[in-house]
């Protein structure tokens, strides 16, 4: 590199100046050793000359100073191996746990849903005043919601609970398997705003003649059980002994309801008002508030109670939840609390590491005082501690990523299957950026404490403390004062 060559040229030029000066001193009658000493004394502080020259180079001087401070930091780590290793391990554990939980939060909560304009999707139930339990909907209410609520663009229904929807599926020439199915209304995917990757969607609600016993496969079932056979579209498969035509295959990101492997239409026997076991998914008109939706739903529920008093009580309140909140459920609070707890652990790790770096800086007080007395500026001393903290943060961050990877594997394996998209957690670019940011913060924590200590050092007192005392002093030992303040 260019700046390395310039450093080498500077070293050779300074050596040449010293040799010429030593020859002149030797010509005046001095011994060789005395001549070299006199030459250095006449030339001045060689280190200061180097730094002044590099400062004139601009940014190259900064690179050289950082490289020099980094080499010195690594030597310092080797001299105080035990304390620095313990500090770095403590930081690595804190960074690893925080990064692992952030990866889970990013996969489950921060990633957008695979549906366009997800903020327009709502889940709708009913509730009775004073009751903590939701009242489910009947299939016939789809038409009520579609025609009676003008703030809904489209409405679909599906069972409130996924239980008891397991079916035995058998493909052409294949062994039968148990599959989790999701009975839905025809406009289910249109309401969500997605289309099949292969084939077609279910026919519209009003297209009764085109509706038949058809199913749509999930991507995982199509790739695993049907070996990604594109010719399966339009062919017949057996579900609980009944023939269904395969209408389409959804993309890999569609996993709603959770763990659904196959979607089929709700049977016509569900069309009455007495069977209330469904929930509605609605897409609202852009710009519509939840208050407007609630007001129209109250009017609809009042009309239902008047027209069908045998099915609906007079007092019914709408329950509206955003699909993003319904998707995560109670997992949101649990993950956020866990992430907050990991940050508290990271803060404790930073405090512990900062104290260890502070104790090491205190042990090096005479070294710092010597450097200060020889001309080192406060900025140079701060730069040295900043580079030491940065090096510790980089090492801890690298180890923390390894710990995070192992923790993510364990957490994903042990997590309940109901947590959506938990399998997407991993070491992605966003997670690496988060770990790097946290590592920089820990580096700052490791740098501030030693910097605070050096700002209170009295170089003359500490040099006198380290030297041979010819007279006793009545004042308190400066190290005692500094140690007390540090504590």
Taking only the tens place, the pLDDT of each residue in 266-276 is 876 555 677 77
Q: Same domain, yes or no, for 104 and 152?
A: no
Q: Same domain, yes or no, for 225 and 308?
A: yes
pTM of the model: 0.71
Q: Same domain, yes or no, for 311 and 336?
A: no
Which of the listed residues 315, 344, 378 is the one where a domain comes to its end? 315
Q: Is 119 part of any domain?
A: no
pLDDT of residue 482: 41
Q: Is 162 part of any domain?
A: yes
Longest dimension (CA), the chain: 124
Q: Same domain, yes or no, for 151 and 91?
A: no
Q: Inform me whether the pLDDT recorded for 59 exceeds 50.
A: no
Q: Is 124 part of any domain?
A: no
pLDDT of residue 468: 39
pLDDT of residue 10: 66
- 37-69 as b/e, with b when 16 or more CB fall inside 10 Å? ebbeeeeeeeeeebbeebeeeeebbeebbeeeb
Q: How many domains does the chain have?
A: 3
Find the domain containing 351 and state its range: 75-112+331-467+475-486
**What phi, psi does 165 have (nearest 5°)?**
-115, 20
Mean pLDDT of the chain: 80
Confidence of residue 228 (pLDDT cuts 50, 70, 90): very high
Say which range, 63-77, 104-118, 280-294, has the weakest mean pLDDT.
63-77
pLDDT of residue 191: 94
Q: Is 172 part of any domain?
A: yes
Q: Is 452 part of any domain?
A: yes
pLDDT greater at residue 271 or residue 306: 306
Q: What is the residue whose two structure tokens read 């957690």?
A: 425
Q: Inform me whether the pLDDT recorded for 193 exceeds 70.
A: yes
pLDDT of residue 405: 95
pLDDT greater at residue 11 or residue 33: 33
Say which range, 137-146, 160-169, 203-212, has the weakest mean pLDDT.
203-212
Which of the listed residues 315, 340, 364 is the one where a domain comes to its end? 315
Q: Same domain, yes or no, for 273 and 412?
A: no
The residues, ordered by sequence, that sit 6+ positions from 464 with a Cβ below 8 Å of its Cβ are none
Q: Same domain, yes or no, for 105 and 28?
A: no
Q: Same domain, yes or no, for 133 and 107?
A: no
Q: Same domain, yes or no, for 214 and 140?
A: yes
User: 279: burial class by Cβ within 10 Å (0-12, 13-18, 19+)?
Assistant: buried
Q: Same domain, yes or no, for 43 and 182?
A: no
Q: Inform me whether the pLDDT recorded for 139 exceeds 60.
A: yes
């Amino acid at each position: 590199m260019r700046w390395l060559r310039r450093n080498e040229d500077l070293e050779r030029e300074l050596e040449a100046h010293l040799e010429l000066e030593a020859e002149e001193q030797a010509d005046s009658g001095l011994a060789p050793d005395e001549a070299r000493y006199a030459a250095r004394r006449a030339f001045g502080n060689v280190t200061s000359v180097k730094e002044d020259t590099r400062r004139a180079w601009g940014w190259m001087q900064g690179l050289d100073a950082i490289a020099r401070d980094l080499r010195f930091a690594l030597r310092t780590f080797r001299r105080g191996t035990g304390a620095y290793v313990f500090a770095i391990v403590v930081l690595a554990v804190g960074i690893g746990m925080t990064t692992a939980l952030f990866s889970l939060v990013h996969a489950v909560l921060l990633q957008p849903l695979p549906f366009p304009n997800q903020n327009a999707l709502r889940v709708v139930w009913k509730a009775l005043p004073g009751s903590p339990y939701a009242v489910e909907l009947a299939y016939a209410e789809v038409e009520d919601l579609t025609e009676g609520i003008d703030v809904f663009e489209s409405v679909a229904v599906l069972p409130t609970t996924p239980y008891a929807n397991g079916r035995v599926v058998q493909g052409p020439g294949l062994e039968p398997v148990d599959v989790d199915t999701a009975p839905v209304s025809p406009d289910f995917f249109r309401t969500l705003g997605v289309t099949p990757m292969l084939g077609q969607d279910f026919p519209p609600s009003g297209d009764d003649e085109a509706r038949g016993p058809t199913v749509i496969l999930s991507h995982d079932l199509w790739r695993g059980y049907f070996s990604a056979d594109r010719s399966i579209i339009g062919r017949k498969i057996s579900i609980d002994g009944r023939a269904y035509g395969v209408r389409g295959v959804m993309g890999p990101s569609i996993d709603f309801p959770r763990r659904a492997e196959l979607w089929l239409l709700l049977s016509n026997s569900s069309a009455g008002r007495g069977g209330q076991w469904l929930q509605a998914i609605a897409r609202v008109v852009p710009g519509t508030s939840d208050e407007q939706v609630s007001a129209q739903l109250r009017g609809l529920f009042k009309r239902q109670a008047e027209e069908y008093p045998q099915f609906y009580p007079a007092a019914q309140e709408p329950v509206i939840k955003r699909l993003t909140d319904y998707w995560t459920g109670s997992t949101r609070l649990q993950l956020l609390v866990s992430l907050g707890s990991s940050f508290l652990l990271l803060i404790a790790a930073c405090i512990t590491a900062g104290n260890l770096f502070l104790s090491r800086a205190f042990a090096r007080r005479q070294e710092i005082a010597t450097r200060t007395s020889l001309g080192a500026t406060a900025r140079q001393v701060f730069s040295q501690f900043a580079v030491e903290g940065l090096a510790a943060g980089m090492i801890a961050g690298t180890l923390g990523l390894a710990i995070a990877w192992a923790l993510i594997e364990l957490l994903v394996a042990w997590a309940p299957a109901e947590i959506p998209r938990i399998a997407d957690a991993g070491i992605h670019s966003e997670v690496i950026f988060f770990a790097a940011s946290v590592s920089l913060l820990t580096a700052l924590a490791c740098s501030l404490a030693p910097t605070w200590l050096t700002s209170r050092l009295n170089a003359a007192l500490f040099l006198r403390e380290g030297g041979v005392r010819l007279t006793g002093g009545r004042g308190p030992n400066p190290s005692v004062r500094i140690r007390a303040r540090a504590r």
